[in-house]
Structure 1
Amino acid sequence: MDRMLEGKVVIVTGGASGIGAGIALAAARHGAAIVIIGDITDQPREGGTPVLQRLNSLGTKAIFHRCDVTSRSEMDALVDVATPFGGVDLMACNAGIALATDGPQISADDFHKLLTVNLDGVLFGAQAAAEQMIKLGKRGSIVATSSMGSIRTGQLTTAYSTSKAGVNMMVAALADAFGPSGIRVNAVCPGLINTALPLSSPEVAKMFDGLRERMPLRRLGEPEEVGNAVVWLGSDLASFITGVSLLVDGGQTVVL
């Protein structure tokens, strides 16, 4: 396997579970020296072995830092964890939520909660990482986790799709802003991925079952498959790619 992140320092928000854990593990398999997990909890929602143990077994130094991505000061503190190791090379702004109460009748409180986590988390993480990269003269990379739902939506994902469409536009704007400093900013847009998040609502889970049967590959993606896309975007192999929202959806949007 090509080790696209050999010796690099990687931060993953929301990295204890799901796609975030997949990103962290993919980074480790591709040679990252340090993987810093920023999350509210160090325990995976899906159960099983905590991601830090799995990362350490791959020979990567894994560090957990408890944080709230909706706090700019806590994002600054998370990025500061990378300072003794030479600073962050790849910032994966992955943390996000979906709500079972989503839909056209979503409450104002739930709507604002979802937007705050899904948008503030990307903005604050990107700001903190870019500031450190610029200070240290690093030509680093920032990759946000968006969603196929930013491009195709339905009534049961009213707020979620709105937030992820915002992520795509934020990535484009930040790519323009940080590009002169040599910092690339991109997003991945996962489709149906084998995590607990899509199953947060029985209605959404039922909808996903129907969609899977119409997908070209006829299966769910795995978290590390999304992680591989993040690794590639964060590596020198993608050195002339910025401002892109890359679909990682098994062809799902082809048939929708």
Structure 2
Amino acid sequence: MNMSDILANKVVVVTGASSGIGRAIAIRAAEHGARAVIVSDVTEAPREGGEPTAAVIEALGVTARFVKADVSKRTDNDALVAAAEDLGGVDVFVANAGITLRTDGADVPEEDYRRLMSVNLDGPLFGAQAAARSMKAKGKAGSIVLMASMGGLVGAGITVAYSTSKGGVVLMAKSLADALGPDGIRVNAVAPGTIDTELLRTAAGIAEASEGFRKRTPLRRLGQPSEIGDAVAYLGSDLSSYVTGHALTVDGGLLAVI
């Protein structure tokens, strides 16, 4: 049984959807009534184990496809959006794919820095461009959601490159909202706080800091990936029809307090 029908008749494409937050976004889209979900990642196997995301979605009675894509490549983003064409074309595009670095900070190595930027910053732009072209060609008032982070709203010495990339995503969403608004296409960002994922538990520095984040969070707990999925579903739905250029913080109140 669907949680809601707020995404009814919509085709949703999610990058980085094999694991973690992306997996939850894709599954939640199905649970909120999406007609079809395109699951994309560099590998189909979930980091946390279990059935592939597309299989979980199909078990819910929703059409699902897995499309392998490296979002740092413009051609892969184009092919990913094209994979939704025979389903009616993309209605909601979620640029979720992103990476962190084991060695980040003021002395981040150039090679690592450029690799992170190619995924975290180039990827959302190329994906949004491909989705927007498809939406405009079909006259769709679609929704594009870019995955930012609380680390893109405030800085941290252990995430210099990561925070720089996510801060860029926030301003990318605002700028694209202005560029695409006349075509009826909304663009927003979601900025998660400390979310309980496999990546959080294994990322150097962040894993150690997570307990401190939890204690400072007004709700006194880590967020769940499904809660980010619900936020994305809202921004993808017609319930947010007058919301664009916004960075929605989903952090349990962490950034609201000192």
Name the TM-score class by shorter chain. Answer: over 0.9
Q: Secondary structure at the match of 1:43?
A: coil
Cα deviations by residue, 1:87-126 (Å, 9 ceiling, x for unpaired): 0000000000011111111101111111111001100000
Q: Secondary structure at the match of 1:130?
A: helix
- CA shift for structure 1 position 199: 2.9
User: 2:242 aligns to what?
Assistant: 240
Q: Secondary structure at the match of 1:99?
A: coil
User: 1:150 aligns to what?
Assistant: 152
- CA shift for structure 1 position 131: 0.2
Distance 2:205 2:40 in 1: 30
User: 2:185 aligns to what?
Assistant: 183
Q: Which amino acid aligns with 1:167?
A: V
Distance 2:156 2:251 in 1: 16
Q: Which amino acid aligns with 2:31?
A: R
- CA shift for structure 1 position 203: 2.4
Equivalent in 79, 82, 94 of residue 81 of structure 2: 79
Alignment size in residue pairs: 256
- CA shift for structure 1 position 237: 0.5
Structure 2 CA distance for partners of 1:199 and 1:105, relative to 1, 3 Å: farther
User: 1:121 aligns to what?
Assistant: 123
Distance 1:202 1:131 in 2: 38
User: 1:163 aligns to what?
Assistant: 165
User: 1:215 aligns to what?
Assistant: 217
- CA shift for structure 1 position 49: 2.2
- CA shift for structure 1 position 71: 0.8
Alpha-carbon contact 1:130-1:183 (below 8 Å) kept: yes
Cα deviations by residue, 1:50-72 (Å, 9 ceiling, x for unpaired): 21121111111110000110111
- What percentage of residue pairs aligned between the two structures are identical? 53
Q: Which amino acid aligns with 2:105?
A: G
Q: Secondary structure at the match of 2:18?
A: coil
Q: What are structure 2's unaligned runs of at least 5 residues?
A: none
- CA shift for structure 1 position 7: 1.6
Distance 1:255 1:137 in 2: 43
- CA shift for structure 1 position 202: 3.7
Q: Which amino acid aligns with 1:89?
A: D
Cα deviations by residue, 1:3-42 (Å, 9 ceiling, x for unpaired): 1001210000001011101110110001111100111000
Deviates further, 151-160 or 140-149: 151-160
Cα deviations by residue, 1:134-189 (Å, 9 ceiling, x for unpaired): 00111100001100111122111111111000000001110000000000000100
Equivalent in 134, 137, 150 of residue 136 of structure 2: 134
TM normalised by structure 1 equals 0.98
Distance 1:83 1:47 in 2: 30
Distance 1:53 1:220 in 2: 27
Q: Which amino acid aligns with 1:82?
A: A
Alpha-carbon contact 1:100-1:200 (below 8 Å) kept: no
Q: What are structure 1's unaligned runs of at least 5 residues?
A: none
Q: Secondary structure at the match of 2:158?
A: helix
Alpha-carbon contact 2:145-2:236 (below 8 Å) kept: yes
Structure 2 CA distance for partners of 1:155 and 1:210, relative to 1, 3 Å: same
Q: Secondary structure at the match of 1:156?
A: coil
Q: Which amino acid aligns with 2:235?
A: L
- CA shift for structure 1 position 224: 1.1
Alpha-carbon contact 1:188-1:229 (below 8 Å) kept: yes
